[in-house]
Structure 1
Amino acid sequence: MVRRRLFSVNDHFYQGKPRYFIAECSNYSCFCVHVEGVQNTSCRSYLLFFVSKQRRLFKFIQPRTQLVATQCGVVKRIFFSTGELSGDLQGSILIRALTREALSRNVVVKVRRYISRVVVKSQKTFQLYGLGGSLMKQEGLELLQDTSKISSIGLIEAVPHLWASWSMIQNAIERVIEDPPDIAILIDYVGPNLQLASKLRKIFPGLPIVYYIAPQEWVWGYANQKVPFLLRYVESIGEICDKVYSIFPAEHAYYQRHQIASEYVGHPLFSSDWKKGNETNQKRARESLQLALDAVVIALVPASREQEIRYILPIMAQAAKHIQDQLVDEDVVFIVPCSRDDFRAKIQQQLTRSGVSQFRIYDKTSSSIVIAAANLCIMKSGTVNLEAVAMQVPQLVLYRLSNWSAWLGRNVLGLQIPFIASPNCVEMRLVVPELVQENATAENVSKAALNLLRTKHEQQRMLTDYERIAKVLHCPEGTSRAAKSMFELMQTD
């Protein structure tokens, strides 16, 4: 149930806050102060005044002025919570769609007095704040904390981040209480997000809470396997969230089967919002990165988390050395998109130590170009797998946890994951080769990579499957529809 209110800032009134931001215009800001003793909820009275950019009061309207905000005339406060680099990317795409939706709406604050009428047109329609990363910050998010370094997969790997996650949630709650949002948008990051959302639901019972990029437990259900108890989030999502925006058709069906409000919006990497800034081909990408057009270019995509630097990068580096030794007559270059600045030195050290002679490291803003420039991608599992699908580049996928986490997952949680690579999860069959845990060795990786490089018909089969996956995940203006739906949840009378 969406809370109905006269203003998006009415929560402040019963919390004793004296001043409320209503709208920001080119030359002045508009604030209102609640008049003590006025209890008429249908038509409150306010002290209203305008403040110039230099903080000079240049317009004042006496008490008993009736302030009426139109449906789109208030500043909308949108709270985001996401973690990891993939959530940051997907959040930035969504923010673009939300910004476009906001600009398409007429934003007007009307002030009516018995003998006067003032109309204020706002240029800033909403305030974005929350937990995310640098890409979301570039799109206008007020970043309360960068969560890109607080992420892990596996029970043992999560332990070092527990205190940081708890502290992050507490700080976010304090800010939300101080500045209540009109909607909370959760993106991936399931553990911290559900803890945070549970607290938000208790504090603001009527706050719309939505999940965009929800937990992928549908994979077990789709493969007719029982979801392990500790990884079963569907009941919590049903209790906490007003709506789920599903990015996979099978995910949409899964949440509907559990009677959770779900809307299929397609995957953001196959939306027009992402493609506009990432349309390229191999030739243009290589020219941009100053790579020879006839070189054999292999992209290594090892890590977005610290644990992946520890467990996956060494395997990739050793495999790269094996490939280099097998292709001595070819001009082989390994290119690596560096997802975090603090990873650069570690990547360079590992590749050098393994004996890889030809490699280049690029910052994270070039990840799409790096993938597009490659003949083949050797990747860890994650959103980057679908990025390779969107770029039409053959890939093989590997993943490895600590031995303890793998043992606990198999023997305590009873995990039997059908697939780890997103393209395989979409099709529920082996579209791209994947190597997991004990099978993720340098020898196996190099053997699979060389087989793909040398077998043109296998590459073509994979690219044909990519086209089918892209059609499944493409939803015309899906991100825009999600943004529109979110604004509708924020509507007030």
Structure 2
Amino acid sequence: MQEKQQSVMIVAGEASGEMYGAQIASAIRTLSPDTRFFGMGGNCMREAGVETLVDANVMAVMGLVEVVAHLPTIINGFNTLKNKLHTDPPDLLILIDYPDFNLRLAKVAKKAGIKVLYFISPQVWAWRSHRVHGIGRVVDMMAVLFPFEVPFYQKAGVPVTFVGHPLLDLVKPTMRRDEALASLGLDPQRRCVGLFPGSRLAEVKKLLPVILDAARILKERMPDLQFVLPRASSLKDEDLAPCLSGAGLDVAVIAGRNHDVMTACDAVIAASGTVVMELALVGVPHVIIYKMSKFTYEVGKRVINVPHIGISNIVAEKRMVKELLQDEAEPLPIANEIDALLNNPGYTAAMREDFAAMRVKLGSGGALGRVARLAMEMMK
């Protein structure tokens, strides 16, 4: 009798998560070449041989109001995966971030007797900490990025392993600043400001017009500036075109070379998200901005228990990088902060020292390989 082929469902809901999902699938395949992969993801996971039953690009929304608007799409995607868990149960379900969706899916898997490995902990240490007990009931192993998360889960009796942060391996610039600028078609003799509006279409629509207004102010003050915008894999050029076409600015849009773009930049305007950790690891001075619906923000203020929104600031346990949120995330304050980053060498030198200290806290590389080995152990 032929042995059943081993299978893994991987579920990631946004650009950074599906990039990790692709790497984990590749690492597991190295250890077990015949393993079959399916789940929810985007281009990176498809290229890694994962059959994507649900496209993550249409699922990546953030904020209460925004989620409600996309609810039919989200429910449809959830039901597709739920049905697959029953009709073609995998040997392991790997969930990556995307907590409100993934914890519900973990509950379905647990009832079906499928083991669950959760990678990138929901930020229960930041808000709704009571959720940790519910997580323990539906997750067989929590693989965490940060050392401070381990005692939090241990105290609640949840199986946990510190694997480290995958960005330590993935963020490896290969060029000097002048080489990066030249390779991107930019002028190595001019200062460069990066415009990083996020990877979700909804946040790009909200943030990019503000970022471009700030860039115009900077261009008036410093005519030699040039601007570059890395397009996330979850977006298309036509998603950016409505904002860029009427901006009155020359902005170089680059796809697929985020770390080269970071290396080329003297300063960056960045939407809050994984990218701020990447910028800190590359050592690029930046400002963190974010806007959401007023309702989402007012609710968040009352339930979130951390003093920062930037994950790099949270890990550093200090405000290394300025955060401009909601009404503060306006063109003039953003432009003023970038001005300071470009023209105050002492300010940026201190920021880079903070970045180096934060990096030490993240441990060593090899995180995704550890997740793959953990997955193999769970499937034995």
Contact residue 431 and residue 465 of structure 1 kept, 8 A = yes
- Mapped partners of 2:343, 2:112: distance in 1: 59
Contact residue 274 and residue 311 of structure 2 kept, 8 A = yes
2:349 is aligned to: 460
Which of 138, 146, 149 is 1:251 aligned to? 149
1:339 is aligned to: 232
Deviations along 1:27-54, one digit per CA (max 9) or x if unpaired, are: xxxxxxxxxxxxxxxxxxx4x6xxxxxx
Which of 266, 270, 276 is 2:164 aligned to? 266
1:396 is aligned to: 287
- Mapped partners of 2:240, 2:344: distance in 1: 29
Aligned partner of residue 246 in structure 2, secondary structure:
helix
1:237 is aligned to: 135
In the alignment, structure 2 segments of 5+ residues that lack a partner are none
Deviation at 1:343, TM superposition (A): 4.9
In proportion to residue count, which structure has more helix?
2
1:361 counterpart = 2:291: no
1:310 counterpart = 2:219: no
- Mapped partners of 1:409, 1:275: distance in 2: 30
Matches of residues 55-94 of structure 1 in structure 2 within 5 Å? 75-94=5-24
**Computing the radius of gyration over CA atoms, which structure comes out larger, 1 or 2?**
1
2:25 is aligned to: 95
Deviations along 1:181-239, one digit per CA (max 9) or x if unpaired, are: 111000001111111111111122xx220110111222x3xxxxxx34xx753122110
Contact residue 452 and residue 459 of structure 1 kept, 8 A = yes
- Mapped partners of 1:488, 1:295: distance in 2: 52
TM-score, structure 2 as length reference: 0.94
- Mapped partners of 1:238, 1:214: distance in 2: 12
Matches of residues 196-215 of structure 1 in structure 2 within 5 Å? 196-204=105-113, 207-215=114-122
2:328 is aligned to: 439
Deviation at 1:159, TM superposition (A): 0.4
Q: 1:172 to 1:341 in 2, by over 3 A?
A: closer
Deviation at 1:170, TM superposition (A): 1.1
Which of 275, 279, 291 is 1:384 aligned to? 275
In the alignment, structure 1 segments of 5+ residues that lack a partner are 1-45, 49-68, 103-123, 221-226
1:162 counterpart = 2:60: no
2:313 is aligned to: 424
- Mapped partners of 2:375, 2:267: distance in 1: 38
Deviations along 1:84-130, one digit per CA (max 9) or x if unpaired, are: 1111122223223223333xxxxxxxxxxxxxxxxxxxxx4211111
Q: 1:170 to 1:402 in 2, by over 3 A?
A: same
Aligned partner of residue 408 in structure 1, secondary structure:
helix
Name the aligned partner's letter for residue 212 of structure 1.
Answer: F
- Mapped partners of 1:92, 1:473: distance in 2: 22
Deviation at 1:479, TM superposition (A): 2.2
1:289 is aligned to: 184
Name the aligned partner's letter for residue 240 of structure 2.
Answer: I
- Mapped partners of 1:255, 1:261: distance in 2: 7
Deviations along 1:130-156, one digit per CA (max 9) or x if unpaired, are: 111111111121111111221222111
Q: 1:474 to 1:295 in 2, by over 3 A?
A: farther
Deviation at 1:340, TM superposition (A): 5.1
Deviation at 1:316, TM superposition (A): 0.4
Contact residue 109 and residue 115 of structure 2 kept, 8 A = no
- Mapped partners of 2:139, 2:261: distance in 1: 37
How big is the alpha-carbon RMSD for the aligned residues of Structure 1 and Structure 2?
2.0
Contact residue 311 and residue 402 of structure 1 kept, 8 A = no
Deviations along 1:14-69, one digit per CA (max 9) or x if unpaired, are: xxxxxxxxxxxxxxxxxxxxxxxxxxxxxxxx4x6xxxxxxxxxxxxxxxxxxxx6
Deviation at 1:378, TM superposition (A): 0.7
Deviation at 1:416, TM superposition (A): 5.3
Q: 1:446 to 1:212 in 2, by over 3 A?
A: same
Q: Which has the higher contact order (CA 8 A, sep 6+)?
A: 2
Deviation at 1:342, TM superposition (A): 5.2
- What is the count of residue pairs matched by the alignment? 380
- Mapped partners of 2:373, 2:305: distance in 1: 38
Contact residue 166 and residue 365 of structure 2 kept, 8 A = no
Deviations along 1:443-464, one digit per CA (max 9) or x if unpaired, are: 1000001001101121111111
Aligned partner of residue 199 in structure 1, secondary structure:
helix
Aligned partner of residue 228 in structure 2, secondary structure:
strand
1:114 is aligned to: none
TM-score, structure 1 as length reference: 0.73
Name the aligned partner's letter for residue 368 of structure 2.
Answer: T
1:327 counterpart = 2:327: no
> Structure 1 runs of 4+ off > 3 angstroms?
278-281, 340-343, 413-417
1:300 is aligned to: 195
- Mapped partners of 1:416, 1:203: distance in 2: 34
1:195 is aligned to: 104
Contact residue 78 and residue 184 of structure 1 kept, 8 A = yes
Contact residue 151 and residue 158 of structure 1 kept, 8 A = no
Which of 437, 460, 479 is 2:368 aligned to? 479
Name the aligned partner's letter for residue 185 of structure 2.
Answer: Q
- Mapped partners of 2:277, 2:12: distance in 1: 19
In proportion to residue count, which structure has more strand?
1
1:35 is aligned to: none
